[in-house]
Chain A
């Protein structure tokens, strides 16, 4: 089966611009998660979708971040406008049920300059 796919793998944007990250989970996985790792720090939870619904978005840092999962398939994470501190690696993961481990994508490395 195909794994979790994230696009783009790298993105370099200027402060104030907008960037949209995309995650395609494993087909049939209802649970989709976004995480972020800022250089040298822990991987931090951003939010959790169950199908198209936001189950938990307690980790979203501020209202410059908007996540969607229309139709319960792929998800997008938009940062608008981007700030320097938004730089990091954004991981997406999916799981079939909440008891098991997650399958992660390769991540999107975002650099805001």
Chain B
């Protein structure tokens, strides 16, 4: 079965600095990879996904993620963080060719300080 690891519980960055939220995955076969964000008192919102094609995927709110097959990673990045980016971020994986459904990581709390 597939699984996701988000090694950092908490990431702190200063506003205007680049940010990275790490994610590694394990899956049999080719993966679908996703990033979701949860703002306080809100549901999970879709940010971006990788299925096939370019390894660098661009998503909502200026976020992007790079798929690295050899390192089985899908780190989320943004060149310049905003205070409003502060939220809980979840990485998720689905296997492409079997019946298992989406599995999530434990989440990383991003705090952007002014």
Contact = CB atoms under 8 A, between A and B. Distances in A.
B and A form one assembly: yes
A104 B45 contact: yes
Contacts of A6: 43
A41 B43 contact: no
Contact of B43 (A40, A48, A91, A99): A91
B102 interface: yes
A43 B51 CA distance: 21
B44 A48 contact: no
A74 interface: no
A4 interface: yes
Contacts of A25: none
A56 B1 CA distance: 13
Nearest to A5: B43
B106 A40 contact: yes
A101 B46 contact: yes
A104 B43 contact: yes
A70 interface: no
Interface string A7-50: 00000000000000000000000000101010011111100100
Given A45-B102, A48-B101, A104 B107 contact: no
Given A42-B104, A43-B107, 7 more contacts: A4-B43, A41-B106, A42-B4, A43-B92, A91-B43, A102-B102, A103-B46
Interface of B: 4, 9, 32, 34, 36, 41-46, 49, 51, 90, 92, 94, 99-107
